[in-house]
Amino acid sequence: MMRGTDETSRSLFSYVDLEERIPARHPLRKIRQVVNDALVSLDADFEALYIDFGRPSIPPERLIRASLLQILFSIRSERQLMEQMQYNLMFRWFVGLGIDDPVWVPTVFTKNRDRLLTTEMSRKVMAAILAHREVAPLLSDEHFSVDGTLIKAWASMKSFQPRLEGAPPDDAGPGVPPTQDTATDSQPEQTQQETEPMTRPNHRNRNAEVDFKDEKRSNATHVSTTDPDARLYKKSPGTGAALCFMGHTLMENRHGFVVQGDLTQADGYAERRAALDMVHRHSPGSTRRLTLGADKGYDSADFVADLRRACITPHIAQKSRYSAIDGRTTRHQGYSLSQKHRKKIEEPFGWAKTVGGMAQTMYRGVERVRSRFILTMAANNLSRLPRLLGA
We report the CATH number of the domain holding residue 304 as 3.30.420
Beta bridge partners of 252: 144
110 plus 149 within the same structural domain: no
Within-domain flag for 271: yes
DSSP-derived letter for residue 295 is -
81 plus 149 within the same structural domain: no
Quick check: 191 pLDDT over 70? Answer: no
Quick check: 196 pLDDT over 60? Answer: no
Binned at pLDDT 50, 70 and 90, residue 29 comes out as very high
69 plus 144 within the same structural domain: no
DSSP-derived letter for residue 344 is G
Beta bridge partners of 360: 152
Q: Which residue has the higher pLDDT, 176 or 99?
A: 99
Confidence at residue 215, expressed as pLDDT on a 0 to 100 scale: 76
Domain count for the chain, please give it: 2
Within-domain flag for 39: yes
Query: Residue range 348-367: average pLDDT?
Result: 95
Q: Which helix (H) or strand (E) holds 83?
A: helix 78-87
254 plus 344 within the same structural domain: yes
Query: How far apart (Å, rounded) are the C-alpha atoms in residues 130 and 139?
Result: 8
Of 100, 116, 132, the residue at which a domain comes to its end is 116
146 plus 257 within the same structural domain: yes
In degrees, rounded to 5, the angle at the alpha carbon of residue 355 between the alpha carbons of residues 276 and 27 is 100
Q: Exposed, middle or buried, 365 (CB in 10 Å: 0-12/13-18/19+)? A: middle
236 plus 308 within the same structural domain: yes
Residue in 38, 135, 67, 148 with CA at minimum distance from that of residue 381: 135
111 plus 153 within the same structural domain: no
96 plus 231 within the same structural domain: no
Averaged confidence pLDDT in the chain = 87
Cα-based distances in Å from 155 to 92, 125, 361, 362, 363: 34, 29, 10, 9, 10
Backbone phi and psi for residue 376, each to the nearest 5 degrees, phi listed first? -65, -40
148 plus 105 within the same structural domain: no
Quick check: 231 pLDDT over 50? Answer: yes
What is the per-residue pLDDT across 296-324, written as a single tens digit (0 to 9) for each? 999 999 999 999 999 999 999 999 889 99
Angular region, 390: left φ>0, alpha ψ -120 to 50, beta rest: left
Which residue range is the domain that position 290 belongs to?
Answer: 140-158+225-363
Residue type, 192: Q
* Under 8 Å between Cβ of 351 and 257: no
Provide the b/e sequence for 274-306 (b: ≥16 CB within 10 Å): bbbebbeebbeeeeeebbbbbbebbbbeebbeb
Confidence at residue 9, expressed as pLDDT on a 0 to 100 scale: 67
Query: Residue range 266-273: average pLDDT?
Result: 93
Residue type, 375: L
Query: How far apart (Å, rounded) are the C-alpha atoms in residues 331 and 283?
Result: 26
Within-domain flag for 350: yes
SS3 category, 184: helix
SS3 category, 222: strand
Backbone phi and psi for residue 138, each to the nearest 5 degrees, phi listed first? -80, -10
Model pTM score: 0.85
335 plus 241 within the same structural domain: yes
Which residues lie below 8 Å from residue 116, measured CB to CB, with a gap of 6+?
Answer: 49, 60, 63, 64
Query: How far apart (Å, rounded) are the C-alpha atoms in residues 252 and 292?
Result: 9
144 plus 258 within the same structural domain: yes
Query: Residue range 201-209: average pLDDT?
Result: 64
